Amino acid sequence: MADAHDGPDHGDNAGTAVARQDSHDAAAPPAAVVRADRIPNPGFPPERLRVTDLDPKKARQAERTITVLFFLSVLGSVLAVAAYILFPIEEGDPSTIRLNNMLIGVGITLGLLGIGIGAVHWSKTLMHGHELVEERHPTRGSDESRERAVEIFREANAESGFTRRSLVRNSLIGALIATPIPAIALFRDLAPAEDPIALLKHTMWETGTRLARDPSGTPIKASEVTIGSAFHVIPEGLAELESHRLEEKAKAAVLLMRLPLDELNEDPAKADWSYDGIVAYSKICTHVGCPVALYEQQTHHLLCPCHQSQFDVANHCEVIFGPAARPLPQLPITVDEEGYLVAKSDFTEPVGPSFWERQL
């Protein structure tokens, strides 16, 4: 048994200390089988000298290259200043912005890259190139320094009376707890002052609001919407809003299209929501709220450019592709006595993407 252990151990110098001890004490049974390293640590390959170490001519050449790089850097910095002065941005001529920016950029790039490439080339070719191993020192501190650290804490506690003067300590803790309160109050105010759910559920459309062109705000007559037309619509009065105009537009934007009547397949429950083939749908995608307005006149598909949701306008805007979960909300429309298109009511469901409190 001992022989069996002795054999390989004697023949293998790379065996561990335990294995070697085993071979000396042949009578004792092995406590554990410790395998010798089958693959010895290859160590470092023989150090290869660089051409600049061997050939002084090459070293001088590298020196010149590095110097040229540093001079190029100086040149680049000067060029940037010169470009700023010689090629100023002239008002009313956007092409001067382009030239000015490009030359300044080229100059600064040259300035920085010249230093960077030069420094790296220097260290790679001319600085001392020998290889060495730096051992990592242990993370744990020495026993003395650890004891000293504990002692410092104890002394500080004794001198300040942090545990002894409990009133001072507790009032400090209280003060620290109170300091973030202003931040909470300030950031809380970033939330809408009004009930956000009510804001999400209602738009500017009301019964009788005329459909108007974006951006001019002129009302649209039903007779002006020819077959195949697409109008980008805002509620009349939005263009004149003093405040929250964009917020209202973001909810109330509508796309108006006229389809041939024989191609329009309407939901019987919403049969009177359109007028003579003219349908109005919210432009806000039900997925994450991008404006959906890529209307294809022949296929009647509406494409959202953000995530490729597709809605079929001919089939009450049902989703035919993509991540949107619901059809686009339809705006019920009719005409008033002057022939202008008007909304019958607000949207009957919240427009845009889902939110936590959304019913339906």
Partner 1 sequence: MAPTSPASARRAGRRSPLATAALLVVGLLATGGAYALATTTTATAETTVASAQLIDEGGKLFAANCASCHGLDAEGTAAGPTLIGAGALAVDFQVGTGRMPMAASGPQAEVKPVQFTQEQIDAMAAWVADLAPGPAVPADRYIAGDGDAAIGAELFRINCAMCHNVAGAGGALTEGKWAPGLAGVDPVHIYGAMVTGPQNMPVFSDLNLTPEEKNDIITYLLYLEENPPVGGWDLGSLGPVSEGLFIWIFGLGGLVAVTIWLTAKSN
Note the residues at the interface with partner 1 (CB under 8 A): 48, 50-52, 94-95, 97-98, 101-102, 120, 124-125, 129, 213-215, 221, 224-232, 257, 291, 293-299, 301, 303, 305, 310, 321
Inter-CA distances, 203 with 197, 254, 357, Å = 12, 11, 17
The sign of the CA dihedral 88, 94, 97, 100 is negative
Tell the smallest beta-carbon distance from residue 252 to partner 1 (Å): 14
We find the least distance from the C-beta atom of residue 294 to partner 1, in angstroms, to be 5
- Which CB sits closer to partner 1, 196 or 215? 215
Q: How far apart are CA 77 and CA 57, in angstroms?
A: 31
**59 vs 199 by CB, closer to partner 1:** 59
Q: In this complex, which beta carbon is closest to partner 1, that of residue 229 or of residue 315? A: 229
Q: Toward partner 1, which CB reaches closer, 15 or 107?
A: 107
Closest by alpha carbon to 104, among 126, 125, 63, 76?
76
- What 50-56 contacts at long range (C-beta under 8 Å, 24+ apart), as own/partner pairs, is 50/125, 50/129, 52/125, 52/126, 53/129
CA neighbours within 13 Å on the CB side: how many for 216? Answer: 5
Task: Report in angstroms how near the CB of residue 125 gets to partner 1 at its nearest.
Answer: 5
CA–CA gap between residue 322 and residue 302 (Å, rounded): 12
Are the C-beta atoms of 18 and 4 separated by less than 8 Å? no
Residue 293 CB, shortest distance to partner 1, in Å, is 4
The residue to which tokens 């919240």 are assigned: 350
Closest distance between partner 1 and the C-beta of residue 217, in Å? 12
User: How far is C-alpha 270 from the geometric centre of its chain's CA atoms?
Assistant: 41
Pure H helices in 134-180: 143-160, 166-178
Work out how close the CB of 332 gets to partner 1 at its nearest, in angstroms, rounded to a whole number. 22
Q: Looking at beta carbons only, is 54 or 152 nearer to partner 1?
A: 54
Nearer to partner 1, 30 or 289 (CB): 289
CA–CA distance, 237 with 230 (Å, rounded to integer): 21
Min. distance of Cβ 58 from partner 1 in angstroms? 9
Quote the least distance from Cβ 119 to partner 1, whole Å: 11
DSSP helix/strand/coil, 70: helix
Between 201 and 283, whose beta carbon lies closer to partner 1?
Answer: 283
Would you say 130 or 137 has its CB closer to partner 1? 130
